[in-house]
């Protein structure tokens, strides 16, 4: 990394090559799910390189939190677009997921080809409870940054109750939280300001290239011509991709993952139950146990956690033998690629189309207050997902009719507790915790 310029000077504009190399590096080191990835981006872009200020970073993040799809990858697209126009956004978003696709495809092949081995089973038995701890820690991390007053804590609690007890779909929670945020912005504006809603919003890292008061650059201004061109190009790309898919399972995957990208909100943690329902219950591409294993693999690889869709696509195409029993690896990789393409295409459209409008609102409370409310609601949804996976791991033989049947797995519960303490109290990185838990699972399986 280059030495940072003096804190009294604005950093120089990075070249396209410099930004390309950074986004490529980020694609290989972005572990830890959305919370970890956003923390890495904040450290690199706000604190170290100072390419964007704290408040501009958080304003962009809140917009990404509103959208369906992976907020960390969308944030990369947004900042890439700010720095180097449309191609900057495309490069940033693509490099954020490309390394993960190849790594996850390789690991999924090993899982399917050698998953019955005691060694592999033991490793996964150790990683699964670690995943529970990681999701709980993600809820804590995001909550500690977003919930800076009792009103936002209450909003997160209401969100949790709504989805956990009453089963209200997350899109409705998003709308409700946005409306409450808009109302709160008028009645209690200090409670819904972006700077007051995140830890570190008032820290001074020195002048940034894109600072709080940086005048809008020409390419960040809204243009109807640009918007229409972008939407038409995306529609042609989507249609061409669907036309190429003449295999029924792949076409179904294209349609399903497009729908998942469009109708599910709250990032990876909120979309997973929807993908679980479709992949396991509706289409039978994989089993429930395999879905949890896929999440474990997603946690051990860089890139957005929603890359678990690549695992679902790989296993589904492999299981259905779409190219025959002698081409399972090819089928799996094509399935993973299809799932990835159709899941992430809408994210580029959402950011490149909406960012010019969002950039014009970064100082306007009537726009930022609803986003702050939605960010708080997301915390409750992530906690709900933590309980969902914890239940599957600690009560592996239970059913919805008998949620606590089949025995309590004390061993897995202790691994989850230890992993959370390591993450929370001792500040261990996600990969170290996963490696330790995998080793414990392996030893337990061999014994």
Q: What is the pLDDT of residues 394-413, one digit of tens each?
A: 887 777 778 888 788 999 99
* 210 located within any domain: no
* 165 located within any domain: yes
* 144 located within any domain: yes
Percentage of the residues of the chain whose pLDDT score is greater than 90: 37
| Range name among 36-45, 72-81, 275-284, 411-420 with the lowest pLDDT average | 36-45
266: confidence class by pLDDT, cuts 50, 70, 90: low
Spatial contact of 27 and 99, defined as CB atoms under 8 Å apart: yes
**Rounded distance, CA 117 to CA 431, Å?**
23
* pTM listed for this prediction: 0.73
* 247 located within any domain: no
Q: What is the pLDDT of residues 83-105, one digit of tens each?
A: 999 999 999 999 999 999 999 99
199: confidence class by pLDDT, cuts 50, 70, 90: very low
195: confidence class by pLDDT, cuts 50, 70, 90: very low
The chain-wide mean pLDDT, for the chain, equals 84
Residue 37 has pLDDT above 90, yes or no: no
More confident residue, 122 or 180: 180
* Average pLDDT value for residue range 238-251: 95
Residue 157 has pLDDT above 70, yes or no: yes
200: confidence class by pLDDT, cuts 50, 70, 90: very low
pLDDT of residue 312: 96
More confident residue, 283 or 35: 283
**Rounded distance, CA 201 to CA 204, Å?**
9
* 305 located within any domain: yes
pLDDT of residue 1: 45
Q: Output the six-digit token pair for 69.
A: 């799809």
**Rounded distance, CA 24 to CA 16, Å?**
12
Residue 261 has pLDDT above 90, yes or no: no
Q: Output the six-digit token pair for 165.
A: 């007890």
More confident residue, 344 or 148: 344
The residues, ordered by sequence, that sit 6+ positions from 200 with a Cβ below 8 Å of its Cβ are 42, 54, 145
pLDDT of residue 172: 81
Q: What is the pLDDT of residues 64-83, one digit of tens each?
A: 877 777 888 999 999 999 99
pLDDT of residue 196: 38
* 232 located within any domain: no
* 6 located within any domain: no
More confident residue, 370 or 36: 370
pLDDT of residue 294: 87
pLDDT of residue 134: 78
More confident residue, 388 or 200: 388
* 304 located within any domain: yes
Q: What is the pLDDT of residues 103-156, one digit of tens each?
A: 999 989 988 988 766 777 788 788 888 878 877 887 787 787 778 889 999 999
351: confidence class by pLDDT, cuts 50, 70, 90: very high
More confident residue, 195 or 191: 191
Q: What is the span of the domain harbouring residue 359?
A: 16-204+266-309+352-446
pLDDT of residue 258: 93
- Please tell me the total count of domains within the chain: 1
């Amino acid at each position: 990394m280059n030495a940072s310029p003096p804190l009294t000077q604005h950093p120089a504009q990075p070249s396209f090559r410099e930004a390309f190399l950074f986004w490529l590096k980020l694609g290989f080191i972005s572990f830890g799910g959305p919370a970890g990835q956003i923390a890495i981006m904040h450290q690199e872009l706000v604190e170290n390189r100072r390419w964007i200020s704290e408040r501009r970073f958080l304003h962009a993040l809140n917009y990404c939190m509103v959208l369906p799809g992976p907020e960390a990858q969308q944030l990369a697209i947004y900042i890439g677009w700010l720095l180097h126009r449309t191609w900057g956004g495309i490069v940033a978003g693509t490099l954020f997921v490309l390394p993960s696709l190849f790594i996850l495809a390789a690991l999924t092949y090993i899982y399917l080809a050698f998953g019955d081995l005691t060694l592999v089973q033991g490793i996964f038995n150790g990683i699964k409870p670690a995943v529970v701890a990681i999701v709980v820690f993600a809820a804590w991390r995001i909550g500690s940054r977003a919930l800076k007053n009792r009103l936002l804590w209450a909003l997160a609690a209401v969100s949790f109750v709504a989805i956990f007890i009453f089963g209200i779909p997350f899109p409705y929670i998003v709308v409700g939280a946005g409306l409450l945020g808009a109302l709160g912005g008028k009645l209690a504006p200090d409670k819904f300001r972006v700077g007051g809603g995140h830890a570190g919003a008032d820290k001074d890292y020195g002048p940034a290239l894109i600072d709080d008061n940086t005048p809008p650059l020409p390419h960040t201004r809204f243009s109807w011509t640009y918007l229409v061109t972008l939407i038409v190009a995306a529609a042609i790309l989507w249609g061409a991709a669907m036309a190429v898919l003449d295999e029924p399972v792949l076409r179904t995957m294209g349609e399903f993952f497009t729908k998942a990208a469009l109708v599910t909100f709250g990032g990876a943690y909120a979309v997973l139950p929807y993908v679980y329902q479709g992949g396991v219950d509706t289409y039978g591409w994989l089993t429930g146990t395999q879905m949890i294993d896929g999440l474990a693999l997603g946690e051990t690889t860089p890139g957005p956690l929603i890359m678990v869709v690549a695992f679902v696509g790989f296993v589904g195409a492999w299981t259905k033998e779409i190219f025959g029993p002698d081409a399972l690896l090819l089928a799996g990789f094509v399935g993973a690629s299809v799932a990835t393409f159709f899941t992430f295409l809408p994210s580029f459209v959402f950011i490149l189309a909406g960012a010019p409008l969002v950039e014009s609102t970064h100082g306007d409370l009537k726009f930022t207050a609803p986003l702050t409310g939605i960010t708080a609601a997301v915390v409750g949804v992530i906690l709900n997902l933590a309980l969902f996976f914890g239940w599957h791991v600690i009560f592996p033989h239970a059913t919805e009719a008998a949620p606590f049947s089949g025995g309590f797995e004390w061993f897995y519960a202790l691994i989850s507790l230890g992993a959370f303490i390591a993450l929370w109290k001792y500040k261990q990185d996600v990969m170290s915790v996963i490696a330790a838990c995998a080793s414990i699972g392996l030893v337990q399986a061999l014994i």
